[in-house]
Amino acid sequence: MIKFLHAADFHLDAAFSSLSPEQGRERRREQREALKELAAASADCDFVLLAGDLFDSNKVYLDTVEALKECFASMEIPVYIAPGNHDPMREDCPYSREDWGENVHIFTKQEIERLELPGCDLYGAGYTEGNWEPLKDFRVEEEERLNLMLLHSGAEYNPVTVEQILASGLDYLALGHVHDLRICREDYTTYAYPGCLMGRGFDECGKKGFLKVRLSKVACDTEFIPLNCRRYEILDVELEEQADPPEQILEALPTDSSEHIFRIVLHGHCPKPDTEQLRKVLSEHCYAVELLDKTEGSGDLWEGITEDTLRGEVLKELKSRLDAAGEEEQEQILRAAKLIRDLMDGREISV
Ligand SMILES: [Mn+2]
């Protein structure tokens, strides 16, 4: 059995443009710090596979180069890297510019290279440009060995198909590019994306981290190890008319909210909340917060109910049904009332 770490998509030195410049700098410092957790987890492993997009772009701070070199040096086991579409293998890229240390091997070419390691064969290729299919007509050379491959692969970058994976003879395909954790199995081949190392936006919510894999010819055990770092979270809060909005939202926040970055989406039939005031209150309880007000004001829903018109008649009927209705039915009636109001106001509606 062999044991290794599989990580990808660090996106070091990302812009973090949705945060303040100061918070962006802090997040980039945190990215460098996070590398220490990865190094610590590698202690009982045979090697480390890094499937590309380690850098967000070609522009890398010296602090980042130093932190990554320190991470690799402290690992004391071989580290294999397959460059991705954010950090393609080019003449002037950080992989070419720097000396990353003796234990680091970078798959520099856009063609499959085979390395014979103790206990397994490791295949790999880097991304340089264009749309090349790395697994097209690929078959492992020695079936009886454990066979692994390291690639940065997506629909437009080094694409692979399930048919090609099935025909490859690989035991484990370590992929990068997809920022969510995905572990799949076809026949005896496990192929996985560990997801990005840490979230950078609301499309990368929740816990992020890397995989520790134990692999033999008969079994593949993948353990997800979340990084101990800030998360992006989307929180939907249903406001009630009578209650105090800040209080309701604070109640919905997790206890460690000051560590994390939130998008809070407000729903409900209630008077328009004062989002400026809310933002002020919430920013004291969150690392960063974004508020989306999707509430539908309730105050004007019954406007015209006393009129001696068709509108008044319909609203009166709905209101009396609402007062008599159960909770579930109430929701339907409120939706109907809103629809009728919008229709009579001449708004474009969708049912
Ligand atoms: Mn990426």
Same domain, yes or no: 149 and 275: no
Distance 51 CA to ligand 1 centre (A): 9
Q: Same structural domain for residues 145 and 12?
A: yes
Ligand 1 center to 11 CA (angstroms): 7
**Residue 122 or residue 315, greater confidence:** 122
**Which of 180, 210, 226 is the endpoint of a domain?**
226
Ligand 1 midpoint to CA 46 (Å): 25
Alpha carbon of 86 to ligand 1 centroid (Å): 7
Residue 168 pLDDT: 97
| Residue 216 or 302, more confident | 216
pLDDT of residue 65: 97
Interacting residues of 99 by C-beta distance below 8 A, sequence separation 6+: none
Residue 322 CA to ligand 1 centre (angstroms): 51
In percent, the amount of the chain with pLDDT more than 90 equals 75
Q: What pLDDT is stored for residue 348 in this prediction?
A: 76
The length of the chain in residues reads 351
Percent of the chain whose predicted confidence (pLDDT) is above 70: 99
Residue 335 token pair: 């939706």
Q: What is the pTM of this model?
A: 0.84
**One domain for residues 187 and 63:** yes
CB 64 within 8 A of CB 13: yes
What separation in Å is there between the alpha carbon of 22 and the centre of ligand 1? 24
Residues 202 and 268 in one domain: no
Single out the residue of 23, 10, 104 nearest to residue 52, CA to CA. Answer: 10
Query: Which pLDDT score is estimated for 299?
Result: 56
Expressed in angstroms and rounded, the spacing between residue 192 Cα and the centre of ligand 1 is 14
Kindly state whether residues 87 and 175 are assigned to the same domain.
yes
Residue 48 CA to ligand 1 center (angstroms) comes to: 18
Q: Give the pair of three-digit tokens for residue 23.
A: 């918070």
Q: What is the pLDDT of residues 246-255, one digit of tens each?
A: 898 999 999 9
| Spatial distance between the Cα atoms of 343 and 147, rounded to a whole number of angstroms | 64
d(CA 134, CA 174): 13
68 CB neighbour count, 10 Å cutoff: 25
Same domain, 92 and 172: yes
- Tell which of 226, 241, 274 closes a domain: 226
Residue 347 has pLDDT above 90, yes or no: no
Q: Which CATH number do you get for residue 191?
A: 3.60.21.10
Report the separation in Å between the CA atom of 176 and the middle of ligand 1, taken as the mean of its atom positions.
Answer: 7
Ligand 1 mean position to 7 CA, how many Å?
11
Residues 51, 127 share a domain: yes
Centroid of ligand 1 to alpha carbon of 95 (angstroms): 16
Distance between Cα 274 and ligand 1 center (Å): 38
pLDDT in tens, 191-242: 999 999 999 999 999 999 999 999 999 999 999 999 999 999 999 999 887 7
Is 281 in the same domain as 336? Answer: no
Give the residue from 296, 333, 298, 295 showing the smallest Cα distance to 316.
Answer: 333
For residue 198, how far is its CA from the centre of ligand 1 (angstroms)?
11
Which residues are registered as beta bridge partners of 212?
5, 223
Distance 87 CA to ligand 1 centre (A): 9
Comparing CA positions, the residue from 320, 323, 204, 333 lying closest to residue 260 is 204
Strands 120-124 and 113-117: antiparallel
Residues 142 and 254 in one domain: no
Give me ligand 1 centre to Cα 152, in Å.
9
State which residues form the domain around 241. Answer: 232-293
The string of pLDDT tens digits covering residues 159-169 is: 999 999 999 99
Local confidence band at 336 (pLDDT 50, 70, 90 cut-offs): confident
Domain-ending residue, one of 183, 208, 226 = 226
CB of 41 within 8 A of CB of 210?
yes
Tally the domains of the chain. Answer: 3
Residues 114 and 202 both lie in one domain: yes
Residue 169 CA to ligand 1 center (angstroms) comes to: 26
Give residue 298's pLDDT band: very low, low, confident or very high (50, 70, 90).
low
Same domain, 29 and 78: yes
Considering the chain, what is the average pLDDT of its residues? 93
Do 47 and 181 share a structural domain? yes
Please give the distance, rounded to the nearest whole angstrom, from the Cα atom of residue 34 to the centre of ligand 1.
17
CA of 308 to the centre of ligand 1 (A): 62
- Going by C-beta distance under 8 Å and a sequence separation of 6 or more, which residues neighbour residue 76? 103
